[in-house]
């Protein structure tokens, strides 16, 4: 049960974006489309997973005095590898995410989990923690992007990042979208507004659950 809670905490109870309010830069900047959200989410999951594994394996040999610089070097190396792979195989996604790929190095979620969890726990537990936090981050970005994209354009679509072929599309009629689309959600202020609404809803659900208990 303890292992299950390690995984589920990041998804729901301690969601890094909607509960801990970490990784805000990318959550606010790139959630204008589902493609961007999923691309950033998968990248963060991979970097978080591998960094947690490496740091957990080395936790007993890294001196406490230099542990933060070591964590940053490990994370920066992984982020650079991810950046080069995205540029080579998914150039359109790499361009869309832009500067927010190298900024993963200073993402509070990754460095925070390295310091708070991976450096103190086994590899197995660190893997579960990374998957839970990474999927929680990705889920939050996905919800934000779907709502922002649909409310501002009336459509939701997903493209193959390798070929740019359309995988999925859903939308209302062009006339309906033109009449009722809320274009503010395309703008930066729309990102703040959407995050606030979703976070408030999550907080309400948590408080309601506590009242029932």
Cα distances (Å, whole numbers) of residue 48 to 2, 40, 88, 187, 201: 21, 12, 21, 29, 27
pLDDT digits (tens, 9 = 90+) for 36-95: 999 999 999 999 999 999 999 999 999 989 999 999 999 999 999 999 999 999 999 999
Distance CA(25)–CA(29), nearest Å, equals 6
Q: In this structure, how many other beta carbons lie within 10 angstroms of the beta carbon of residue 186?
A: 16
Backbone CA torsion sign across 64, 53, 116, 47: positive
pLDDT band of residue 176 (cuts 50, 70, 90) is confident
């Amino acid at each position: 049960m303890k292992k299950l809670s390690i995984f589920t905490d990041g998804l729901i109870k301690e969601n890094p974006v909607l509960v801990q309010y970490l990784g805000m830069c990318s959550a606010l900047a790139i959630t204008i489309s589902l493609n961007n959200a999923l691309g950033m989410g998968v990248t963060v999951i991979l970097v978080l997973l591998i960094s947690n594994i490496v740091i957990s394996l080395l936790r007993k040999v890294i001196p406490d005095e230099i542990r933060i610089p070591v964590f940053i070097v490990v994370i920066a190396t992984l982020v650079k590898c991810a950046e080069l792979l995205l540029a080579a195989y998914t150039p359109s996604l790499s361009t869309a995410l832009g500067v927010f790929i190298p900024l993963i190095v200073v993402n509070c979620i990754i460095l925070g989990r390295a310091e708070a969890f991976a450096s103190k726990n086994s590899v197995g537990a660190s893997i579960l923690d990374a998957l839970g936090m990474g999927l929680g981050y990705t889920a939050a970005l996905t919800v934000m992007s779907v709502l922002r994209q649909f409310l501002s354009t009336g459509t939701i679509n997903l493209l193959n990042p390798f070929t740019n072929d359309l995988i999925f599309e859903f939308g209302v009629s062009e006339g309906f979208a033109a009449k009722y689309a809320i274009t503010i959600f395309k703008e930066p202020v729309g990102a703040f507004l959407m995050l606030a609404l979703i976070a408030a809803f999550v907080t309400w659900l948590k408080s309601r659950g506590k009242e029932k208990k």
